[in-house]
Structure 1
């Protein structure tokens, strides 16, 4: 119960930040689609093992008590979807078995190391959003690695960020 309250609190902070900075907490009224509401844009390095210097463009939104991000190889209109990041709070992470924990990265140590930026926000707005996600953990599923392949061949992988 307490862990759920913590995650709800984390999600509430992120949703409030999105609302303050022009994002939407919910998809538009009417017939909302799952593809709507991905309003938080985060750029970060070190996500692609084949080319660590390549920027991963995250587009994120709160979904059912989590934060989920779609990862693209660019921010151009024809960008290719290459992965997904799921974000949980510290209480949820603490419940995972040790083997599962090895697949997740801690955002407090990762954010600075991956040169994360929020290009659609002012520095002040970005700082507030970053502070709201510091105590969270992320797990990245790469559908394919655009640093190694020009087409989505091979198996999807869970990428453990190399931030040491």
Structure 2
């Protein structure tokens, strides 16, 4: 058995059990007529008859927070459903909730520190580090035993993510309008909206502060100087000719300091 397969098998049963725990509804209702009986029958038939290997590989559920690169006060919760491709590469689809009608917000690619170090300087500016997300307790794997979550966080603490959001439901958009936007992760205390984090913690029955204490023994690797370029004022974002982007429904009203 390959190493990445062994890791996936060890965690899959536990992580899958977390999916659907502590319901988080999508913040928007999309326009459209309800599904007709024929459509529902087609959906049911496809569920039974069609194989879906890429979807079945999504066996890790992570909940954390993002903000728009260049608009750090526009923050939102992000539900990640991830496939562990190998020891150094994870790919995630991101939803705005964990219920059946949750909206697909975007994608995140997660790579190891070794892979990140080999990237060109310009490419590195698009990626964010995960050290603070893990060590602060902001990133959680809902519903699994502490030991399994600790193992997963030890794996993630030294990784880097590149995240694009394609449907901005946090801004109240009921359709995927505008262009994809590059997202970033928090790097220091005081950046994330405390009320947003507290609301998430209450919904899942967790305490980020306690998770911070539990994760204190996890070694914090040094962050590559090329990551989190927004902290140095190097901000890349796709200009949106539609003018679709606003302040963000969960904007805290203040930008996080680049500490």
The alignment's TM-score, normalised by the length of structure 1, stands at 0.76
Flag structure 1 segments of 5+ consecutive residues without an equivalent: 1-7, 24-29
The 1-side partners of 2:107 and 2:15 are apart by 23
Structure 2 alignment gaps of length 5 or more: 17-49, 189-259
What per-residue deviation string (whole Å, max 9, x for no partner) do you get for residues 13-56 of structure 1? 74254246365xxxxxx94432212111111123466742x321
Partner of 2:134: 111
Aligned: 1:37 with 2:57: yes
Distance in 2, matches of 1:124 and 1:55, equals 24
Change (3 A) 1:58 1:68: same
Q: CA deviation at 1:127?
A: 1.0
Q: 1:100 to 1:16 in 2, by over 3 A?
A: same
- Give the greater-gyration-radius structure (CA): 2
Deviation at 1:160, TM superposition (A): 2.3
Task: State the Cα distance separating 1:145 from its structure 2 match.
Answer: 2.1
List structure 1 runs of 4+ shifted beyond 6 angstroms. none
For 2:137 and 2:73, locate their aligned partners in 1 and report how far apart those are by CA, in whole Å. 15
1:81 to partner: Cα distance: 0.5
> Structure 1's 130 and 71: CA in aligned 2 closer, same or farther, altered over 3 A?
same
C-alpha separation in 1, matches of 2:96 and 2:65: 11
Q: Secondary structure at the match of 1:79?
A: coil
Change (3 A) 1:22 1:136: closer
Structure 1 Cα separation of the partners of residues 167 and 129 of structure 2:
23
Deviations 1:77-126 (A, max 9, x none): 11010010101111111111111111111112332457111113112211
What's the RMSD between the two structures over aligned residues? 2.6
Structure number with the higher strand fraction is 1
* Larger deviation, residues 104-113 vs 14-23: 14-23
Q: Secondary structure at the match of 1:45?
A: strand
How many residue pairs are counted as aligned between the two chains?
149
